[in-house]
Amino acid sequence: MNYICERQFQSDLQTAQLVINEILSNIDKRLDENHIFDVRLILNELISNCVIHGNKKDENKQVNLFFSLNRNKIKIKVSDEGKGFNIFQCKSNIMDENGRGLVLVKGLSDKFQIKGNTITVLKSIN
């Protein structure tokens, strides 16, 4: 059941979607549909944040992704070339157009960690 994917790719949403689809097609038969839904949402939010907010849609910048799946856990780590941010300085208003994504990701995760321009997520799949 183990699966590992490491990718560095151009910072654009079209390329990001190709990478996400690659991962989803490789884990589709390994997880139930609820976990697939969660993984899709987490990957979409984290990677789009890297492209849009971290790299400011600059296609000359890169997004780094590490994804691993084992018997009982998923680990996702993403980073961009942006300056990073302090989550405690961000005011997340659920009604704002921006800001909901990381709230959703945090809610779906067992561990959610931000260090500068890198976000790491752990999710149990018992």
The CATH code of the domain that includes 26 is 3.30.565.10
- Domain range enclosing 116: 3-124
What is the number of domains present in the chain? 1
Is the model's pLDDT at 26 over the cut of 60?
Answer: yes
Query: How far, in Å, CA of 104 to CA of 119, rounded?
Result: 14
| Tens of pLDDT, residues 42-83 | 999 999 999 999 999 999 999 999 999 999 999 999 999 998
Query: How far, in Å, CA of 29 to CA of 19, rounded?
Result: 17
CB 77 within 8 A of CB 120: yes
| Tens of pLDDT, residues 82-120 | 988 766 555 555 445 566 788 899 999 999 999 999 999
pLDDT at residue 100 in the model: 79
Query: How far, in Å, CA of 72 to CA of 74, rounded?
Result: 7
| pTM for the model | 0.90
